[in-house]
Amino acid sequence: QAAEALGSHGVTVEAIEADLATEEGVDRLIAGIGDRDVDLLFLNAGRGLGRGFVDQDWKKVRRIIDTNITGTVYLAHQLGARMARRGRGRILFTGSIAGFMPGTFQAVYNGTKAFIDSFSIALRHELRDTGVTVSVLMPGATQTRFFERAEMMDTKVGTDEKDNPADVAEAGYEAMMDGEEQVISGWKNKLQVAAAHVTPAGTLAEQHRKMAEPGSASKD
């Protein structure tokens, strides 16, 4: 669908089906790119998983980590090195404001996003003299199928009003093209992050519980 939408604008689009949770999948994508120069790299693959950590299926937990961290970092390593050798390129990671708070009942996901938020800024400073810019988009809850796939539609965060994905994508694209270090989309999310910086971790964890605990959608 995305390929068809982009192709309607008169550009050539090649879709490559690959499992970015695996090194083999990333290698498949890189092989599809071949020797073509990569000017813009959007690292947006990500998955979530609700419920308590010890109640989750380990294979699902591992897949979250492999998608959100391992595959993302491997792809950044392979294509980032090519950009650095060429002396130009732009990379946009999709992190999350979830990375600023302990994610009670979403512990693995928030942990992976804390990694991406930190890693992307560190990589930016490593590459600052190479002509390659690295930016990180930190959205809040966005109106996609994320919460449905994460089995969180009985939670408050799963059923609350969410941000428009087009607005979030535009904020990330503009930040990348402007060479900004990071962008938090939406003023409510900016306020939430500002509050997180001065709120004890235990308090944040309890606040997150009220949003992500199974059955919280039906609570006052």
24-52: per-residue pLDDT in tens?
999 999 999 999 999 999 999 999 999 99
We report the CATH number of the domain holding residue 178 as 3.40.50.720
In a domain, 3, yes or no: no
Three-class DSSP category at 142? strand
Three-class DSSP category at 198? coil
Q: Among 42, 45, 52, which residue's Cα sits nearest to residue 66?
A: 45
Angle between helices 107-126 and 58-65 (to 10 degrees): 20
pLDDT of residue 176 exceeding 70 = yes
In a domain, 59, yes or no: yes
The region that residue 210 occupies, defined by phi over 0 for left and psi between -120 and 50 for alpha, beta otherwise, is alpha
Distance CA 214, CA 50 (A): 8
In a domain, 94, yes or no: yes
Q: Among 74, 70, 82, 90, which residue's Cα sits nearest to residue 27?
A: 74
In a domain, 46, yes or no: yes
Q: Residues 118-150: pLDDT tens digits? A: 999 999 999 999 999 999 999 999 999 999 999
Instruction: Give how far Cα 210 sits from Cα of 44, 47, 158, Å.
Output: 27, 21, 12
**Domain limits for position 176:** 33-218
Distance CA 92, CA 124 (A): 10
In a domain, 45, yes or no: yes
Q: Strand pairing partners for 15? A: none
What residues act catalytically? 109
In a domain, 52, yes or no: yes
Q: Residues 80-100: pLDDT tens digits? A: 999 999 999 999 999 999 999
Distance CA 166, CA 178 (A): 18
Which residues are within 8 A (CB) of 7 and not within 5 positions of it... i.e. 6 or more apart?
13
What is the overall mean pLDDT for the chain?
Answer: 95
pTM to 2 decimal places: 0.92
How many domains, the chain?
Answer: 1
